[in-house]
């Protein structure tokens, strides 16, 4: 046996990097496999990704939205893997001359995996320790083994056949990487599968006790290309910090109502859906939505009135804030008046457009508060409603620089024609949606170039909590034109013209498009 201390300096940087890559990959792959095989064991890749999201600098929610909000978090997973592998290669190179670097580096990464795993609310602490320990040991032994294999070919007497020795080392490293990738993919597949199955079949949801009347006649305008009045579940935007969609098991899931209340209580899923269920259309929107963006949707939500749950618990008069907590630790917070006010029907939703909540949208239960941006109100995978004070607690996005209070701003969007479209001369439908939940929309106007603002036709609103469609028949004349839209809410406030970026409290400004008429 050649002691690592004397053999490893002979390894080339390139071979050491390959050994580090293979050893690091094997550690990640096996950790993923353990996470897939043992329910409650955290995946270090996901746990570290969650940590990255949690540690974003203020205002960086845009980053999450741009990078991972819609791309199913694939990119963050890949970045975490790439950084880990690059570090493993670096550690292996450095360990050629200073073997202690391997032990130190692996310990640091093991502790990182441990720390990240321990703060994953979905993971068992003991299994977080097991995963970190297994991954560290695998990394350490695999690295030592591969470096020795690489060194052996350089060491007399094998030095006479370097080609053979090198082929063997490279072949082994590639085999290890293949095994790591296979184990990793298998583990992640098992992990994702383990979280399915809890979702009941569509239709299993009890019928609502108070059904929403169907949308009134004239609620939808007949315009090709306009956003549909009700957003189908599979087309509804998705924004959250979850790298892996939480799928709570119904047997153990509870909704807890606690904090500054007379009598805290908890409900099972069956108990929750056995309560009187209402149905209402509510348009929800993301604070990160850009002017003209599509992080907004309108659905028929079915669920229990939040008021009902709060009355049962008996809210202390000085409890000024409602905090919604998700099974994955995400939190929202909003003033208690939003749930108690007569005109609002904040709810714990269990159904979306006639089906149980899809996993992506918060199964088994989520909050829906008409009029508030999602980040302060719409907790998905809800498990706790806590009554507290506004001073006592800042929810997830507030320390990251987003506004404590998040009323949805009045906005309007042009859906047709598309910006950049070429149109024929003559009558053209300019149409889209406008929303100001829960103040309602009283007017939408369109401006062509720098001309006068002209009233658009509005669809018959479902309620003040939903968007409306609008249509303006434009007599298009030849040339290049700019079209703008603005809405007025139900209280007579005109949408703000001055542009602001989404942070800290939502984007302002008028949506504008350019078209060419010929």
User: In the complex, which residues of this chain contact ligand MTE (CB under 6 A)?
Assistant: 236-242, 286, 326, 328, 330, 361, 374-375, 378-381
Task: Summarize as ranges the residues that interact with Mo ion (CB under 5 A).
Answer: 239, 286, 374-375
Answer with the entry of Mo ion, ligand MTE, none that 379 interacts with (C-beta below 5 to 8 A by kind).
ligand MTE
Both tokens of residue 57? 């600098």
Residue whose token pair is 């995400």: 330
Both tokens of residue 216? 């009134």
Closest CA to 42 of 116, 107, 110: 116
Specify the residue, 169 or 330, whose C-beta has the smaller distance to Mo ion: 330
Specify the residue, 109 or 330, whose C-beta has the smaller distance to Mo ion: 330
Q: H or E stretch including 84?
A: helix 74-95
Answer with the entry of Mo ion, ligand MTE, none that 28 interacts with (C-beta below 5 to 8 A by kind).
none
Q: H or E stretch including 487?
A: strand 479-489
Cα 67 to Cα 73: distance, rounded to the nearest angstrom? 7
Both tokens of residue 17? 């990097």
Least separation in angstroms between CB 393 and Mo ion: 19
Closest CA to 297 of 287, 308, 286, 307: 286
Least separation in angstroms between CB 226 and ligand MTE: 20
In 10 A of CB 320, how many CB atoms?
16
Least separation in angstroms between CB 143 and ligand MTE: 37
User: Looking at beta carbons, which residue is closest to ligand MTE?
Assistant: 374
Evaluate whether 123 touches 41 at the Cβ level (below 8 Å): yes
Least separation in angstroms between CB 443 and ligand MTE: 26
Residue whose token pair is 């013209």: 497
Least separation in angstroms between CB 326 and ligand MTE: 3
Answer with the entry of ligand MTE, Mo ion, none that 363 interacts with (C-beta below 5 to 8 A by kind).
none
Least separation in angstroms between CB 270 and ligand MTE: 22
Specify the residue, 237 or 472, whose C-beta has the smaller distance to ligand MTE: 237
Answer with the entry of Mo ion, ligand MTE, none that 330 interacts with (C-beta below 5 to 8 A by kind).
ligand MTE
Long-range Cβ contact pairs of 192-198 (< 8 A, separation 24 or more): 192/244, 194/36, 194/39, 195/244, 195/245, 195/246, 195/247, 195/359, 196/247, 196/359, 197/247, 198/247, 198/248, 198/249, 198/250, 198/363, 198/364
Specify the residue, 180 or 242, whose C-beta has the smaller distance to ligand MTE: 242
Specify the residue, 99 or 503, whose C-beta has the smaller distance to ligand MTE: 503
Least separation in angstroms between CB 344 and ligand MTE: 18
Evaluate whether 126 touches 7 at the Cβ level (below 8 Å): no
Specify the residue, 286 or 436, whose C-beta has the smaller distance to ligand MTE: 286
C-alpha 26 chain-centroid distance: 28
Q: Within 13 Å and on the Cβ side, how many CA atoms surround 507?
A: 20
Specify the residue, 173 or 289, whose C-beta has the smaller distance to Mo ion: 289
Least separation in angstroms between CB 281 and Mo ion: 19
Q: Is 297 helix (H, G, I), strand (E, B) or coil?
A: strand
Answer with the entry of Mo ion, ligand MTE, none that 241 interacts with (C-beta below 5 to 8 A by kind).
ligand MTE
User: Looking at beta carbons, which residue is closest to Mo ion?
Assistant: 286
Answer with the entry of Mo ion, ligand MTE, none that 361 interacts with (C-beta below 5 to 8 A by kind).
ligand MTE
Specify the residue, 297 or 351, whose C-beta has the smaller distance to Mo ion: 297
Answer with the entry of ligand MTE, Mo ion, none that 378 interacts with (C-beta below 5 to 8 A by kind).
ligand MTE
């Amino acid at each position: 046996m050649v002691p690592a201390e004397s053999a490893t300096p002979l390894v080339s940087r390139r071979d050491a990097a390959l050994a580090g890559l293979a050893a690091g990959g094997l550690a990640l792959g096996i950790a993923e496999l353990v996470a897939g095989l043992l329910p409650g064991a955290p995946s270090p890749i996901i746990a570290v990704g969650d940590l990255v999201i949690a540690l974003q600098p203020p205002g960086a929610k845009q980053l999450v939205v741009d990078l991972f909000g819609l791309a199913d978090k694939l990119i963050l997973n890949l970045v975490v893997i790439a950084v880990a592998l690059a570090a493993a290669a670096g550690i292996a190179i450095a360990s050629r001359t200073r073997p202690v670097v391997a032990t130190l580096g692996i310990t640091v990464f093991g502790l990182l995996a441990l720390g990240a795993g321990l703060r994953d609310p979905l993971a068992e602490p003991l299994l977080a320790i097991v995963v970190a320990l297994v991954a560290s040991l695998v990394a350490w032994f695999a690295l030592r083994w591969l470096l020795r294999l690489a060194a052996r070919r350089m060491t007399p007497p094998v030095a006479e056949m370097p080609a053979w020795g090198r082929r063997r080392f490279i072949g082994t490293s590639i085999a290890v990487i293949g095994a790591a990738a296979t184990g990793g993919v298998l583990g992640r597949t098992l992990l994702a599968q383990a979280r399915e199955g809890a979702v009941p079949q569509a239709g299993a949801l009890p019928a609502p006790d108070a059904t929403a009347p169907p949308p009134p006649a004239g609620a939808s305008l007949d315009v090709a290309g306009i956003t549909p009045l009700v957003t189908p579940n599979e087309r509804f935007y998705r924004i959250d910090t979850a790298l892996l969609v939480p799928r709570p098991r119904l047997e153990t899931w509870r909704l807890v109502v606690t904090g500054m209340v007379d009598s805290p209580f908890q409900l099972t899923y069956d108990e929750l859906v056995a309560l009187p269920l209402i149905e209402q259309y509510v348009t929800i929107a993301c604070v990160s939505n850009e002017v003209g963006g599509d992080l907004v949707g309108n659905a028929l939500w079915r669920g229990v009135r939040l008021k009902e749950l709060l009355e049962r618990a008996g809210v202390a008069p000085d409890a000024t804030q409602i905090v919604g907590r998700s099974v994955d630790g995400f939190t929202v917070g909003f003033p208690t008046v939003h749930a108690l006010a007569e005109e609002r029907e904040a709810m714990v939703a269990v159904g979306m457009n006639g089906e149980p909540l899809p996993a992506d949208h918060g199964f088994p239960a989520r909050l829906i508060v008409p009029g508030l941006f999602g980040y302060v109100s719409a907790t998905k995978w809800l498990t706790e409603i806590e009554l507290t004070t506004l001073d006592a607690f800042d929810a997830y996005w507030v320390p990251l620089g987003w506004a404590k209070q998040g009323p949805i701003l009045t906005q309007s969007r042009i859906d047709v024609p598309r910006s950049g479209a070429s149109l024929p001369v003559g009558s053209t439908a300019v149409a889209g949606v406008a929303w100001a939940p829960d103040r309602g929309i009283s007017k939408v106007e369109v401006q062509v170039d720098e001309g006068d603002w002209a009233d658009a036709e509005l669809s018959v609103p479902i309620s003040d909590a939903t968007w409306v469609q609008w249509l303006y028949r434009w007599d298009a004349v030849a040339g290049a034109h700019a079209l703008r839209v603005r809405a007025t809410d139900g209280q007579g406030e005109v949408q703000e013209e001055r542009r602001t970026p989404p942070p800290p409290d939502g984007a302002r400004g008028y949506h504008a498009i350019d078209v060419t008429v010929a």
